[in-house]
Homo-oligomer: A and B are copies of this chain.
C-alpha cells in the first residue's frame, strides 16, 4: 500500500513509478497494490492531473487508487464547491482508516 498525502509533482511521479516497478518486479498475481490519497495528496486524482493516463493504465492493471471522502468533504466546506475526481478513483470514507484496515489485513504501508 502506497500513501500519498502531499500535493507535490515529484511525489506524485514517485508514487506512480514505484507502483509500476512493483508490478514489474513481482508476479502480478501475487502482489496487491493500493494507493491511498488523503489530505493534499488527493490532487493526484483530479481530472486535470498530468498523470491521469498513467493512473488509468495502472488501474487497468489491477492497482487501486483510493480518494479520502473526508478530505473531499472538508474541501467542499472550505470552498463551497465539491471537487471532482476521475472515475478510476475509489472513494473511501477516511483515508487513514483505510490504511489501518489494510495494515490489519497484511498490507505494508510505504510512503514514497
Contact = CB atoms under 8 A, between A and B. Distances in A.
Interface of A: 3, 5, 10, 14, 17-18, 21-22, 25-26, 38-40, 70, 74, 93-94, 96-97, 99-100, 103-104, 108-112
B108 A99 contact: yes
A95 to B, nearest CB: 8
Copies in the complex: 3
Contacts of A21: 70, 94, 96-97
A110 B97 CA distance: 10
A109 B112 contact: no
B97 A25 contact: yes
Contact of A96 (B5, B94, B112): B112
A1 B3 CA distance: 15
